[in-house]
Amino acid sequence: MELCEFAFNMKKDEVCVNPYHYQRVETPVLPPVLVPRHTEIPAEFPPLDDYSHSIPENTNFPAGIEPQSNIPETPPPGYLSEDGETSDHQMN
């Protein structure tokens, strides 16, 4: 719109953001994208190696720190358990 003193084309420090002061620019429609469909499910999937419990042989630990093989069953004091109760009885 030609009457707005803060129109974008005026190159001022402040810009009018009123959508009624501008002409709408139609965005072009993007062409459709063809995606291949794989309807056949393989009868057998390739085996996956289980590396979830292994540590690489080239792993170095700082002196005095050993890799933890077990995780404590109870959370540290002050944390909430899954049922919402605190595990620290001194907080009451």
Task: Out of 22-26, 27-31, 72-76, 86-90, pick the least confident.
Answer: 86-90
Residue 79 has pLDDT above 70, yes or no: no
13 versus 90: the higher-pLDDT residue is 13
**Whole-structure pTM value:** 0.25
84 versus 13: the higher-pLDDT residue is 13
Chain segment 43-62, per-residue pLDDT in tens: 787 777 776 667 677 677 66
Give me the pLDDT at residue 45, please: 78
Q: What is the 3-state secondary structure (H, E, C) of the chain?
A: CCCCCCCHHHCCCCCCCCHHHCCCCCCCCCCCCCCCCCCCCCCCCCCCCCCCCCCCCCCCCCCCCCCCCCCCCCCCCCCECCCCCECCHHHC
